[in-house]
């Protein structure tokens, strides 16, 4: 059985041809799946019954099942999905005034093990397929209704996207193809912990979508303590990769920086950050640490975050404080879990 959402447009075309159908069927099928978001081939009423039967014998449409939906007081919605092998992942729908964003997962769990991240505690199980990534979008869009169109997608859920490059790339192709999900490349952001070969590959193969880097520290000494992968890809190598990256003022690189009290939030850190990003078109996103019982860090105070932000602005670096959405349902950054046990610890 082919999982039809694993196929980009070209592959869908080949699949349709191999079944002996006319070429124009590809567009029709893509539109039923990605625009009308049907769940079965039987709903494809402009395709003959016999052809629908052949399709359903050879391919499958949905690969996820919604297990639970939680809604935050701020309107954010968290979805718990079950995969065909029983594993579970989460996605977060974040409504804004003028647009809607979906935060998707790319792996079941995560192998990186950042010290402040709750997702890391579940360990790593496996990569998601392209269909499992794309299906998060389709299921959430079906649930929230077509009048609340998801325009933005951030690859900031569970997992490290660049350790699953092929499938992430395929998912982006499906999301941006005009006959498929038809999202604007500028409205898709991929966030990496700093896997340097992934950044270089994105520069060549996917540079129309936006890049975000979870930097979180300005010295290797501190970064190694909170992001273990820093031993493999230290700050200097990450910054060198960002300098090679084809960014400009329109398509700036987002630097993510989680604010941990007394760890990485001093004015000296802010000044070091200014030096690190000098000459690179960036926008800094300061993320207030989302704490949880037993967390090994404390969130920086609002005043300290603002002080840090001011240093950046003083040096003409755009810096914003990320609004932590969906905290009451553990949907904020780093809170997504694969195991549905105690939601907060
Ligand atoms: N693996 C990718 C994608 C995850 S994006 C990456 O590291 O970029 C999620 C963002 O939330 C990352 O910047 C991550 O470091 C951050 N994060 C993780 N746990 C957090 C927490 N408890 N509070 C605030 N931000 C957190």
> Could you tell me the two tokens for 258?
């989680």
Of ligand 1's listed atoms, the one at least distance from the Cα of 110 is: 1
Q: What is the mean pLDDT of residues 313-336?
A: 93
Is 345 known to be catalytic?
no
**For all residues of the chain together, what is the average pLDDT?**
96
d(CA 142, CA 81) in angstroms, rounded, equals: 14
**Residue 124 CB less than 6 A away from ligand 1:** no
**Residue 135 CB less than 6 A away from ligand 1:** no
Whether residue 299 contacts residue 293, with contact meaning beta carbons closer than 8 Å, is answered with: no
**Residue 156 CB less than 6 A away from ligand 1:** yes
Whole-model pTM over 0.85: yes
298 Cα: distance to centroid of ligand 1 (angstroms)? 15
Dump pLDDT digits (tens) for 29-74.
Answer: 999 999 999 999 999 999 999 999 999 999 999 999 999 999 999 9
52 Cα: distance to centroid of ligand 1 (angstroms)? 43
Of ligand 1's listed atoms, the one at least distance from the Cα of 288 is: 24
**Residue 192 CB less than 6 A away from ligand 1:** yes
Q: How far is CA 42 from the centre of its chain?
A: 32
Is 110 known to be catalytic?
no
**Residue 120 CB less than 6 A away from ligand 1:** no
Looking only at the bridges linking them, the beta strands covering 124-127 and 152-155 are unpaired
Dump pLDDT digits (tens) for 78-101.
Answer: 999 999 999 999 999 999 999 999
* Residue to mutate (ligand 1; options 118, 156, 336; most atoms within 8 A of CB): 156
């Amino acid at each position: 059985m082919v999982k039809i959402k694993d196929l980009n447009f070209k592959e869908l075309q080949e699949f349709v041809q191999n079944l002996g159908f006319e070429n124009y069927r590809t567009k029709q099928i893509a539109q039923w799946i990605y625009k009308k978001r049907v769940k079965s081939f039987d709903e494809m009423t402009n395709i003959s019954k016999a052809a629908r039967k052949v399709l359903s014998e050879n391919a499958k449409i949905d690969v996820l099942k919604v297990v639970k939906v939680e809604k935050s007081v701020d309107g954010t919605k968290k979805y718990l999905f079950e995969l065909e092998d029983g594993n579970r992942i989460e996605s977060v729908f974040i409504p804004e005034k003028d647009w809607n964003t979906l935060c998707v997962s790319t792996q079941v769990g995560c192998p990186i093990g950042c010290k402040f991240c709750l997702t890391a505690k579940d360990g790593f199980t496996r990569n998601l397929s392209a269909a499992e990534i794309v299906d998060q979008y389709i299921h959430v869009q079906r649930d929230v209704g077509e009048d609340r169109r998801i325009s933005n997608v951030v690859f900031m859920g569970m997992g490290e996207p660049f350790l699953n490059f092929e499938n992430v790339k395929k998912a982006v192709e499906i999301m941006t193809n005009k006959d498929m999900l038809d999202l604007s490349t500028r409205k898709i952001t991929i966030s990496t912990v700093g896997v340097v070969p992934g950044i270089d590959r994105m520069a060549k193969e996917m540079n129309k979508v936006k890049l975000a880097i979870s930097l979180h520290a300005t010295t290797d000494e501190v970064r190694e303590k909170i992001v273990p992968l820093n031993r493999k890809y230290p700050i200097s190598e990450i910054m060198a990769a960002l300098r090679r990256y084809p960014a400009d003022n329109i398509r700036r690189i987002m630097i993510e920086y989680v604010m941990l009290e007394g760890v990485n939030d001093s004015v000296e850190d802010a000044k070091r950050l200014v030096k690190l990003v000098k000459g690179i078109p960036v926008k800094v996103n300061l993320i207030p640490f989302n704490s949880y019982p037993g967390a090994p860090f404390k969130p920086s105070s609002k005043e300290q975050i603002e002080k840090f932000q001011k240093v950046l602005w003083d040096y003409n670096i755009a810096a914003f404080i990320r609004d932590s959405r969906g905290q009451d349902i553990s949907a904020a950054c780093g809170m997504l879990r694969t195991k549905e046990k105690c939601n907060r610890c």
